[in-house]
């Protein structure tokens, strides 16, 4: 088994990289999927979030209203720390269980990529065999968040400021995927990274 951590700033295109690695045979364990799962209706995680932030972060159906919660935590570092203290341990346990299931299913012959947006912020780089960082210049991040996600420039800057800096992410990188070009450029770079991962841990699969 080879365990890689994949990270990148908001708007970097990390999800595109994740999809391409999955298509080539990597098992993706997505922290965003885990973060949704641990606060589904009826979970202890959701109950703790509602207790900490009030019923106003819940929708009429009792599910978490992510937009309302986001408006609170991205404007207040202390609130964000409170939320992280609730959610992150639950996400870690969920991802560990998913990894164990994947390894058991593959008999250990597997390349696992943990897709973790806050890998740098949570100082988790040392928990992986290597770290892959999807990198774009901050100006391009801002442009994408405004054009593709409908954020205002101020909203985009606030989201970016809540994450690690570009320099901090690159400091923990073993492999860097530049995603400032075209999708064809991205395809080529992902192919190079996949070849590198297979070289580090050969598995019995034909490359795509």
In tens, the pLDDT along 162-186 reads 899 999 999 999 999 999 999 999 9
Nearest to 122 by CA among 157, 83, 94, 154: 83
Please report the pLDDT score of residue 37 as a whole number. Answer: 96
Please report the pLDDT score of residue 207 as a whole number. Answer: 46
Which CATH architecture group holds 2-200? 3-Layer(aba) Sandwich (3.40)
Please report the pLDDT score of residue 77 as a whole number. Answer: 87
Tokens of 54: 């009030």
Find the distance separating the first CA and the last CA of the chain, reported in whole Å.
20
Please report the pLDDT score of residue 83 as a whole number. Answer: 94
Interatomic CA distance for residues 10 and 25, integer angstroms: 25
Question: Which of helix, strand or coil describes residue 2?
Answer: strand
Please report the pLDDT score of residue 158 as a whole number. Answer: 86
DSSP state of 126: G
Please report the pLDDT score of residue 182 as a whole number. Answer: 93
Please report the pLDDT score of residue 140 as a whole number. Answer: 94
Domain layout of the chain by residue ranges: 2-200
Q: Give the residue ranges of the chain where pLDDT is below 70.
A: 202-208
Interatomic CA distance for residues 156 and 145, integer angstroms: 6
């Amino acid at each position: 088994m080879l365990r890689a951590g994949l990270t990148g700033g908001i708007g970097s295109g990390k999800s595109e990289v994740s999809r391409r690695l999955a298509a080539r045979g990597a098992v993706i364990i997505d922290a965003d999927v885990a973060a949704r799962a641990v606060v589904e209706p009826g979970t202890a995680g959701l109950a703790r979030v509602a207790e900490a932030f009030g019923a106003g972060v819940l929708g009429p159906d009792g599910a978490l209203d992510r937009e309302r919660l986001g408006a609170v935590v991205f404007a207040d570092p202390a609130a964000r720390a409170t939320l992280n203290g609730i959610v992150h341990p639950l996400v870690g346990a969920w991802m560990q269980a998913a990894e164990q299931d994947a390894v058991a299913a593959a008999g250990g012959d597997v390349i696992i990529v943990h897709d973790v947006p806050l890998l740098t912020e949570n100082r988790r780089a040392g928990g992986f065999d290597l770290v892959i960082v999807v990198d774009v210049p901050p100006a391009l991040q801002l442009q994408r968040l405004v054009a593709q996600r409908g954020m205002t420039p101020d909203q985009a800057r606030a989201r970016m400021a809540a994450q690690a800096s570009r320099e901090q992410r690159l400091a923990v990188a073993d492999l860097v995927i530049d995603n400032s070009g075209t999708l064809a450029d991205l395809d080529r770079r992902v192919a190079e990274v996949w070849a590198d991962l297979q070289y580090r841990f050969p598995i019995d699969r034909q490359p795509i």
